[in-house]
Amino acid sequence: MRDRIEALMGRARDDLAELVAIRSVADPRQYPAEECLRAANWVADRFAGVGFTGVGLHETSDGSNAVFGVRPTAVPGAPTVLLYAHYDVQPPLDAAAWRTPPWELTESGGRWYGRGAADCKGNIVMHLTALRALGDADLPVNLKLIVEGSEEQGTGGLEDFVVRNPGLLEADAILVCDTGNAAVGAPATTVTLRGLANVVVTVEALRGELHSGMFGGPAPDALAALVHILATLRDSDGNTTIAGLDNSQRWTGAPYPPEQFRADAGLVGGAGLLGDGTVSDMLWARPAVTVLGIDCPPVVGSAAAIQPHARARLNLRVPAGMDAAKAQDALIAHLQSAAPWGVRVTVEKESLGQPFEARTGGPAYRALGAAMREAYGRDMVALGQGGSIPLCNVFAETYPRAEIILMGVEEPLALIHAPNESVDPGEIARLALAEALFLRGYQP
C-alpha cells in the first residue's frame, strides 16, 4: 500500500495544481461565484472516478454547493464512514507578501506552495490518493463523501444542510479532515476545539471632540477609558482575567513544546510567552481574549483633541467544558464593570460558537491509531486546536453515536490563512496511507 501511494504522488501533485489554480473564495464580492462552481464540479468528477455513485452538487442555504456521493459495499452489516473536506479557500491577502504565485502550485524547499494547498484542498487530494491506492476492490465499509464550499466564510451552509438532511450523512465514523499534526511526521488527531464569543464594546464620554489644551485633564477621554478597560482583561503575566471564567485549567493531552511554539508563532526580539501555564494549557485548555481591532483616529492626521468615543472588537476563545454563551455574558459584564470615570459603555454581541470535545476510545479511534502507527512509525497523540469548526458540534448533536475524528495534512509550517501557505507532500502521502489502512481495517 505504501508503494502504491508513492507511485500516485505525481498524480496527487497534478490534481492539487489543478485545484489550487481554481480561485474558489466563497465571497462573490472578491471572486466570481463561477470559481467555486468550477471547484465543486472538479471534486464531483474526481470522486466519481474513484467509485462514488450519485455524486452531485447540493445547494445549501447560503448559496454554496456541497458535493455529496456514496460508495456502498456488498459486505452485510458493514459500518459507514463519512469523509469530509472543503474546497473553498481564504483569499490570498497581501499578494506582495507571497514568495510564489498564490494560485499556482509551486514546489520550493520540498514543500508545495499555493492558496489552499493545505487548507483544505490538500485534504481533498489526500482522500483521492487513499481511494486510488485502495483501487476497485470492495471495501469492508460503506463510504459517504461530503465536501462543502463555504467553510471559510462561516455562513453555516453545510451545518443547516446536515440538520435538514440528517439521514443523508449519517455514519458510524466521520473523518473531518480539516486539521493536522503538531509537526511534520508526528501523527495526531484533534480532540478539542475552542469555541468563540465575539463582542464589540463602545465607550462614550463626550458629546463631541474637545481641544486637549483647553479641556484636557478634567474631561474624560473615551479612548483612554477604552484602553483602561482592555487592560483589565489580562494580568501582568498575560493570563486572561475575565471575572467568572476559570483560567486555571490544565491540558492532559500531548504537550506543545515552548521552543516549537516560539518558532511556529514567529516571536520577534525578546517577546515572551504569555500566562502561568504551559503552552498547551494556554492554547487549548483556558479562555483567551484577543483585541481584533480598535476604532480611533490614526496617528497620521490626528489632532490635539480629546476623543468623545471609541470602540473595539474582541474575540474570546472558549475551551472545551465551558459554555460559550455564558462566557460571552461574563465578558460583557466584565467590560461594563471595568469602566472608569462614569463613562458610558455598551457592548454588542457578535458571533458565538460552542467548543467541541470528541469522544475517544471507540473502535474507529483504535483502528485509526493502529493505521497511523503503521503509516508514520510512531504512536498517534491527542491535540487541541485553538480554531473553531461549528460543523463538529452539529455532527455531534445530529449523530450522537458517531465517532468524530479530526485530522488532516495541515501543520504549523503550512501557514494556513496566511501568505505563503504550503503543504508537505510527505504529509499527504502518510495520511493517505493511514486513511487507506483505516478504511481497510475498521470494524466496530
Q: Spot the catalytic one: 88, 172, 178, 403.
A: 88
Strand locations in 159-308 (E): 173-177, 188-193, 195-204, 210-211, 288-295, 305-306
**Backbone torsion region of residue 406, taken as left when φ is above 0, otherwise alpha when ψ lies between -120 and 50, otherwise beta:** beta
DSSP per-residue string spanning 141-191: SEEEEEEES-GGGT--HHHHHHHH-TTTS--SEEEEES-B-SSTT--EEEE
Please state whether beta strands 111-113 and 195-204 pair in parallel, antiparallel, or not at all (unpaired).
Answer: unpaired
| Residue 290 grid cell | 484577543
Are 385 and 102 in contact by the 8 Å Cβ rule? The answer is: no
**Do residues 150 and 88 make contact, with C-beta atoms less than 8 angstroms apart?**
yes
Q: Rounded to an integer, what distance in angstroms lies between the CA atom of residue 82 and that of residue 42? A: 19
Which of 15, 148, 151, 427 is labelled catalytic? 151
Q: Is 151 a catalytic residue?
A: yes
Q: Is 329:351 a contact under the CB 8 Å cutoff?
A: no
* Cis omega (within 30 of 0) for bond into 296: no
Task: Kindly list the distances between the CA atom of residue 11 and the CA atoms of 16, 24, 208, 425, in Å, as whole numbers in the listed order.
Answer: 9, 21, 64, 12
18 is catalytic: no
Instruction: Decide: 67 and 82 in contact? Cβ < 8 Å.
Output: no
Return the bridge partners of 197, or none. Answer: 316, 352
Q: How far is CA 2 from CA 121, 148, 276, 410, in A?
A: 22, 29, 44, 21
**Segment holding 27, helix H or strand E:** none
Q: State whether residue 44 is helix, strand or coil.
A: helix
Q: Could you give the residue numbers annotated as active site?
A: 88, 151
